């Protein structure tokens, strides 16, 4: 199965979907800016969604801080903010459709049990590969712990706007993957494809750490008959030693004491340079709206780098 990247005609509908499990940081700033400019450069819409489905990890007050920080940085989104936590009925409907099609099944395996199965190797990326122990029915004495969607050994290929041609065989990289826990919560992979389809999102620009999620989402989109968005996976901001920046590091947050009225424009300029853009010389104190206006008119996707590097000083 191959999904080709296309240069869409307007209207592009992009989105930014932070998780309120920590403050906006330099990495999420890059993702917000990249998704914003990729949508706005062609006159498209930019939507905002709070991916707050993982309620145990959501920090009180963090969603409001993210919204206020984005506003202080000059970002303007179209329509109302969508909250995943209010969309359980939509996920249930999609899940019921997968059941009707015979594409999901209950699984009674714990992670520890999967790890102990000798025939369950790790993928080339180190991910634990589910061996399909419950695919043909729950073993005697087992109770469901999760619901998994069936995958095939057919490669899932797509053309990413930044990373180029990408291919993955889900049967070799992860196996049948979880779409719902038995105690109720739906998995990110299902929720995000339902939300994007409902909002008409046709351009998904996000961090490269989610590149491996894309084949799983393509699988679900095909099973549910959803349109396939264009995907753009932006380089990550790395911390010391080349590791991905955590949400505790380099917070771009009003709650962290940053005066974004003074520093927001400079932060956005640095984020533009991180995305490979040749920015002009601005005054020492430049407003976020001035930087965003320049970006909308001049952003060049062709120069976005693939490599993840530290944020420029």
> Do 79 and 111 belong to one domain?
no
> Do 295 and 150 belong to one domain?
no
Residue 1, pLDDT score: 47
> Do 70 and 82 belong to one domain?
yes
Per-residue pLDDT reduced to its tens digit, 101-114: 999 999 999 888 88
CB-based contacts of 106: which residues, under 8 Å, 6+ apart?
134, 138, 144, 146, 147, 182
Q: Establish if 308 belongs to a structural domain.
A: no
Q: Is 124 a catalytic residue?
A: no
Residue 312, pLDDT score: 86
> Do 84 and 217 belong to one domain?
yes
Q: Establish if 95 belongs to a structural domain.
A: no
Residue 88, pLDDT score: 96
**What pTM was computed for the model?**
0.92
Residue 4, pLDDT score: 45
- Dmax over CA atoms of the chain, in Å, equals 71
Do the bridges between strand 45-50 and strand 146-149 make them parallel or antiparallel, or are there none, so unpaired?
unpaired
> Do 221 and 278 belong to one domain?
yes
Per-residue pLDDT reduced to its tens digit, 23-60: 899 999 999 999 999 999 999 999 999 999 988 889 99
Number of domains, the chain: 2
Residue 274 has pLDDT above 90, yes or no: yes
> Do 173 and 215 belong to one domain?
no
Q: Taking the CA atoms of the chain, what radius of gyration do you get in angstroms?
A: 20
| Banded model confidence at residue 2, pLDDT cuts 50, 70, 90 | very low
> Do 63 and 109 belong to one domain?
no
Residue 128 has pLDDT above 80, yes or no: yes
Range of the domain at 260: 2-88+189-303
Residue 248, pLDDT score: 61
> Do 193 and 286 belong to one domain?
yes
> Do 110 and 222 belong to one domain?
no
Q: Establish if 311 belongs to a structural domain.
A: no
Residue 241 has pLDDT above 50, yes or no: yes
Residue 120, pLDDT score: 47
Residue 262, pLDDT score: 86
| DSSP bridge partners of 230 | 203
Q: Which of 150, 244, 247, 262 is catalytic?
A: 247
Residue 125 has pLDDT above 70, yes or no: no
Q: Establish if 309 belongs to a structural domain.
A: no
CATH of the domain at 244: 3.40.50.620
Three-state secondary structure of the chain: CEECCCCCCCCCEEEECCCCCCCCEHHHHHHHHHHHHHHHCCCCEEEEEECCCCHHHCCCCHHHHHHHHHHHCCCCCCCCCEEHHHCHHHHHHHHHHHHHCCCEEEECCCHHHHHHCCCCCECCCCCECCCCCCCCCCCCCCCCCEEEECCCCCCEEEEECCCEEEEECHHHHCCCEEEEECCCCECHHHHHHHHHHHHCCCEEEEEHHHHHHHHHHHHHHHHHCCCCCEEEEECCEECHHHCECCCCCCECCHHHCCCHHHHHHHHHHHHHHHCCCCCCCCCCCCCHHHHHHHHHHHCCHHHCCCCCECCCC
- Summarize the confidence of residues 189-206 as an average pLDDT: 98
Q: Establish if 122 belongs to a structural domain.
A: yes
Count Cα neighbours of 57 within 13 Å in the Cβ-side half-sphere. Answer: 11
Q: What gap in Å lies between CA 76 and CA 264, rounded to an integer?
A: 15
Q: Establish if 312 belongs to a structural domain.
A: no
Q: Establish if 270 belongs to a structural domain.
A: yes
Q: Establish if 59 belongs to a structural domain.
A: yes
- The residue written with tokens 């919560």 in the block is 185
């Amino acid at each position: 199965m191959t999904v080709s990247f296309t240069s869409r005609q307007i209207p592009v509908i992009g989105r930014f979907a932070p998780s309120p499990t920590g403050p906006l940081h330099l990495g999420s700033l890059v993702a917000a800016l990249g998704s914003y400019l990729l949508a706005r450069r062609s006159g498209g819409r930019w939507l905002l969604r709070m991916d707050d489905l993982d309620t145990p990890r959501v920090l009180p007050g963090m969603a409001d801080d993210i919204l206020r920080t984005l506003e202080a940085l000059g970002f303007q989104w179209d329509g109302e903010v969508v909250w995943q936590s209010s969309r359980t009925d939509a996920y249930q409907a999609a899940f019921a459709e997968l059941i009707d099609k015979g594409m999901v099944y209950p699984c009674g395996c714990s992670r520890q049990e999967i790890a102990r199965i000798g025939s369950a190797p790790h993928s080339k990326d180190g991910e634990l590969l589910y061996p399909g122990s419950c695919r043909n029915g729950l073993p005697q004495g087992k109770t469901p712990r999760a619901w998994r969607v069936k995958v095939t050994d057919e490669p899932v290929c797509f053309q990413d706007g930044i990373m180029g041609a990408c291919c993955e065989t889900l049967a070799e990289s992860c196996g049948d993957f979880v779409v719902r826990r038995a105690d109720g919560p739906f998995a990110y992979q299902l929720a995000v494809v339902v939300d994007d389809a409902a909002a008409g999102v046709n351009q998904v620009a996000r961090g490269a750490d989610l590149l491996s999620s894309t084949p799983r989402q393509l699988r679900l989109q095909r099973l549910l008959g959803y349109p396939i968005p264009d995907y753009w996976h932006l380089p990550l901001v790395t911390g010391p030693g080349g590791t991905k920046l955590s949400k505790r590091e380099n917070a771009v947050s009003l709650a962290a004491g940053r005066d974004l009225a003074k520093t927001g424009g400079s932060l956005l300029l640095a984020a533009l340079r991180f995305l490979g853009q040749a920015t002009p010389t601005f005054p020492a104190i430049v407003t976020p709206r001035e930087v965003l206006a320049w970006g909308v008119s001049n952003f060049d996707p062709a120069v976005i780098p693939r490599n993840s590097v530290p944020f420029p000083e």
